[in-house]
Amino acid sequence: MITLKRYNKNPILKPIKSHPWEKYVYNCGAIVLDNKVHIIYRALGRDNVSRLGYASSKDGFKIDERLDKPVFLPQIEAEQPMVKFSNTGVEDPRLTRIRDRIYMIYVATDGRIAQVAMASIKVKDFLEKQWNWRRQGVIFPDRDNRNAVLFPEKINGKYVLYHRLKPNIWVSYSPDLKKWSAPKIVMRVRKGMWDDFKIGAAGPPIKLKNKWLFIYHGVERRKIWGKRGGVYGLGYAFIDVKNPEKVLFRSKQPILQPIKDYEKKGQVPNVVFSCGAVIKEKKTFCLLWWR
């Protein structure tokens, strides 16, 4: 049975009290560039608006650099508050490099509906911290949608996107990253298992020799302290290298479940959740979020 090993000095990222835009920090997208792990994280501010911040680590554990201001702010209509006092803004960044650009798939929420959106930036600008994002807007307008990841290369001549329309994981294709095909189901929830309520992508799939490694989260409905609740765990699947709709293997047991106090208690209890994983020095780093 495969399990993830926790870092013994968690957490690696905490809110900075002097930053009003960082009441909570979580949901890190990650990418390796120039042998460094670059992190784009969600920060929920004291005003209930989510923005995205930047940090980096040379070894994947210790944060060596962190910026004082957000690097990505809510701008489009889908990110502006429609419901008073609700959490709004930009959430859950997932990063994919394709040639000389980094594509960020994220959630735009106005407090009423969460929608999948896309932005991109040149690798050169990203490394120089010139935040010249090109916003491409909402991908599937007016559809409650989350947990979207872009594959790092075309498959059969098309870009590939996994996304979550409750409760399952779906796939869509695009010739140009603008027009997307109608969704098809790739993975379904499994009755009586650790992922029986809803499932969604963690970070973008990682290409191995002859398959894709796909880490995903699953929610199990169970009674906790006499009440019905959801428990978030992480599992993995192998996807056919030439067919994103073909699941070769899917873990019967989670590779990480909430057992530590910082995973079982918080803003939302019983959660382990990831928006990104990278391979560095032959180790897979899965950046996690605990609320």
pLDDT digits (tens, 9 = 90+) for 236-266: 999 999 999 999 999 999 999 999 999 998 8
> Any alpha helices (H) in 1-104, and if so which ranges?
none
What is the reported pLDDT for 170? 98
What the block records as the tokens of 18 is: 């002097």
pLDDT tens digits, one per residue of 214-224 = 999 999 997 56
Task: Give the mean pLDDT of 84-110.
Answer: 96
Percent of the chain with pLDDT over 90: 87
Q: HSE-up of 94 (CA within 13 Å, CB side)? A: 32
Mean pLDDT for the chain overall: 94
Q: What is the pLDDT averaged over residues 36-52?
A: 97
Confidence (pLDDT) at 84 = 83
Alpha-carbon distances of 282 from 9, 56, 285, rounded to whole Å: 21, 19, 10
pLDDT at residue 289, as a whole number: 54
- pTM score of the predicted model: 0.95
**Beta-bridge mates of residue 160:** 173
Q: Which CATH number fits domain 8-144: 2.115.10.20, 3.40.605.10, 2.60.40.1730, 3.40.630.30?
A: 2.115.10.20
Where along the chain do its domains lie?
A: 8-144, 188-291
Position 220 scores a pLDDT of 95
pLDDT score at 116: 98
Tell me the mean pLDDT in the region 125-150: 98
Strands 36-44 and 49-57: antiparallel
What pLDDT sits at residue 291? Answer: 46
